[in-house]
Amino acid sequence: MKKNIPDKNGHFGVYGGRFVPETLIYALDELTAEYALARRDPKFLKELDYYFSEYAGRPTPLYEAKNLSRALGIKRVYLKREDLLHTGAHKINNTLGQVLLAVRMGKKRLIAETGAGQHGVATATVAALFGLSCDVYMGEEDIHRQALNVMRMKLLGARVISVKSGTGTLKDSMTEALRDWVTNVRHTHYVIGTVAGPQPYPEIVRNFQSVIGREVKTQVLKKERRLPDYLVACVGGGSNAIGLFHPFFRDKKVKMIGVEAAGLGLSSGKHSASLGGGSTGILHGSKSKVLEDKFGQIRNAYSVAAGLDYPGVGPEHAYYQDIGRALYVSVTDREALEGFKLLASCEGIIPALESAHAIAYLRKTGRAVRKDAVVVVCLSGRGDKDLHE
Ligand SMILES: *Cc1c(COP(=O)(O)O)cnc(C)c1O
């Protein structure tokens, strides 16, 4: 048997763990204990399944993109259609799981932080569904940039709290949300939106998102009678990618490729590639690869895809990179826009700009991926939100 990852302290190799104020330890222990019970409770799993299928629209199709395959010169490219889910992206898999945990713990309020607003919308959605109050921290800058998502959250009954401290962007919102949680932990659950944060979040979020990879395994075995050669997904914090990768961790022949946002280019400093151009550090309560300046201050991430501009990455990805289990690459804004146009024009599917990074990587390196390969790409979200770009 291979060791479980993470270990009981939430370490993925040297990454992960808990770097939080003492006052949060109780809440993290409570969440750890509740999740340990819930994941073995048939009633919880049945309820999660129910909302996944009846509310969110699972299972999502594994669509064979024949025109795209031809255009890329690859034998078969399948798209895992997370873009077809309610609210338009994979984030709902995680917020549905976490709201069920919050209800089990008797919490009455959800808080979240959001950059582009996608995770805020997914959290406000489940808060409305379960009748919980919801406060979303969002940087002042981001509120201006993402007015439509702010309107959505308000319509769903959430309060959007403008964060003016620091640079008024995502990293400042994370600090404010943690501060709120410290003060209100008795009745409040903090919904982290990706496979980051202190233990137990990276594992919990991974397990909720792993429904993606489990479905892909069943679907691809049915269609191909074998496992795929490559799995490809974009990486912001890394939740859609780990959701696809993790169920294949022990299938050594399946290669995994995570695509980060190179923004204006890695050398420009304006990017979001924590694995490709970052260093080991602490962010959001855990240790991983982060973007920091020479004084150890967290830098702002940048990408044309708002959902990718997170200045860190989940600890499990840093670990997969260290042990060589997955390969991490990056594509620029310009390349991502080409991927966006390619998928729209040849398949009639407008992808989120985040997901377009994964398409763009294949477009760029068709040759590196064997011609006779079977490839599964996670189409993490739909692109209506990105048309103005
Ligand atoms: C938020 C988002 C991402 C990035 O988040 P991960 O945690 O890396 O998956 C990717 N795609 C879409 C559509 C998103 O909304």
The confidence score (pLDDT) of residue 55 equals 98
Mean pLDDT of 268-290: 96
Name the strand (E) or helix (H) holding 216.
helix 211-224
Q: Are strands 255-263 and 326-332 parallel, antiparallel or unpaired?
A: parallel
Name the strand (E) or helix (H) holding 157.
none
Render pLDDT for 284-331 as a digit per residue (tens, 0 to 9). 999 999 999 888 889 989 999 989 989 999 999 999 999 999 999 999
* Helix (DSSP H) and strand (DSSP E) numbers for the chain: 15, 14
| pLDDT tier at 1, thresholds 50, 70, 90 | very low
Question: Tokens 């993490």 map to which residue?
Answer: 380
Torsion sign across C-alpha atoms 224, 230, 236, 242 = positive
Indicate whether 238 pLDDT > 70: yes
Q: What percent of the chain has pLDDT over 90?
A: 86
Task: Name the DSSP letter for residue 51.
Answer: I
The confidence score (pLDDT) of residue 25 equals 94
Q: What percent of the chain has pLDDT over 70?
A: 98
The confidence score (pLDDT) of residue 294 equals 85
The Cβ of residue 43 has, within 10 Å, a number of other Cβ atoms equal to: 9
DSSP 52-98: IIIII-PSPPEEE-HHHHHHHT-SEEEEEEGGGSGGGBTHHHHHHHH
Per the CB < 8 A criterion, the answer to whether 388 and 350 are in contact is no
**Interval between CA 202 and ligand 1 midpoint (Å):** 15
Render pLDDT for 129-146 as a digit per residue (tens, 0 to 9). 999 999 999 998 889 888
Render pLDDT for 43-62 as a digit per residue (tens, 0 to 9). 999 999 999 999 999 999 99
Rounded-to-5 percentages of helix, strand, coil across the chain? 50, 20, 30
Name the strand (E) or helix (H) holding 174.
helix 170-184
Mean pLDDT of 368-380: 90
Rounded mean pLDDT of the chain?
Answer: 95
Mapping DSSP to helix (H, G, I), strand (E, B) and coil, where does residue 236 land?
A: coil
The confidence score (pLDDT) of residue 366 equals 67
Mean pLDDT of 144-161: 94
Chain centre distance of CA 16: 16
Q: Which atom from ligand 1 is nearest to the alpha carbon of 382? A: 13
Indicate whether 204 pLDDT > 70: yes
Render pLDDT for 77-116 as a digit per residue (tens, 0 to 9). 999 999 999 999 999 999 999 999 999 999 999 999 998 8
**Interval between CA 90 and ligand 1 midpoint (Å):** 7
Torsion sign across C-alpha atoms 364, 389, 268, 145 = negative
Instruction: Please tell me the pTM assigned to this model.
Output: 0.97
Per the CB < 8 A criterion, the answer to whether 239 and 195 are in contact is yes
CB of residue 194 inside a 6 A radius of ligand 1: yes
Distance between CA 168 and CA 150 in Å, rounded?
Answer: 15
Atom 14 (ligand 1) nearest CA: 307
296 compared with 210, residue with greater pLDDT: 210
Select from 236, 209, 267 the least CA-distant residue to 80: 209
| pLDDT tier at 367, thresholds 50, 70, 90 | low
**Interval between CA 115 and ligand 1 midpoint (Å):** 11
Distance between CA 305 and CA 299 in Å, rounded?
Answer: 17
